[in-house]
Amino acid sequence: MKKIRLLFLSLALLISVFAFQGQAFAIDIDTAKAQGLVGERPDGLLGSVITPSADVTALIDDVNARRMAIFKRVASEKGQPLDVVQQISGQEFIARTAKGQYVMSSSGKWSKK
C-alpha cells in the first residue's frame, strides 16, 4: 500500500506541474467538464462524453498525450507496469471529479458523479 501511495504522489506532482502547460485552447478542461463535454476514464485518460467539436478533440488529445507521457515516465521510474499506473491515476482522477460531472465506469458507460 505504501508503494502505491508513493506512486500516486509522484503522479500527482508530475501531473500538476506539467499537465496544463502548453497550448491555449478555445475551451479549458474545467469548462469542458462543467459543460458535460468530457469526463474522466478509469484508465487515467480524459474522454469525450458526447461527439466532440474540433476544439474539444484537440483539448482531449493534448491532455491525454501529456498524461500518457507522465504515466510512462512514472511507470519506468517506479518499475511498475503502465496499466497499473494508469489504473491508480484513473481511480484518483475519478475520486477528485466534482459532483455532477461525468465519469466512466469500468464497463465503459458514462454517468454523472
At 20 the pLDDT is 47
Sheet with 38-40, side-by-side order of all strands: 46-48, 38-40, 102-104, 110-112
State mean pLDDT over 49-70: 94
- Per-residue pLDDT of 2-39, as tens digits, reads 566 656 656 665 565 445 444 556 788 999 999 999 99
* Of the candidates 88, 51, 44, 84, the residue with the CA atom closest to the CA atom of residue 67: 44
Prediction pTM value = 0.81
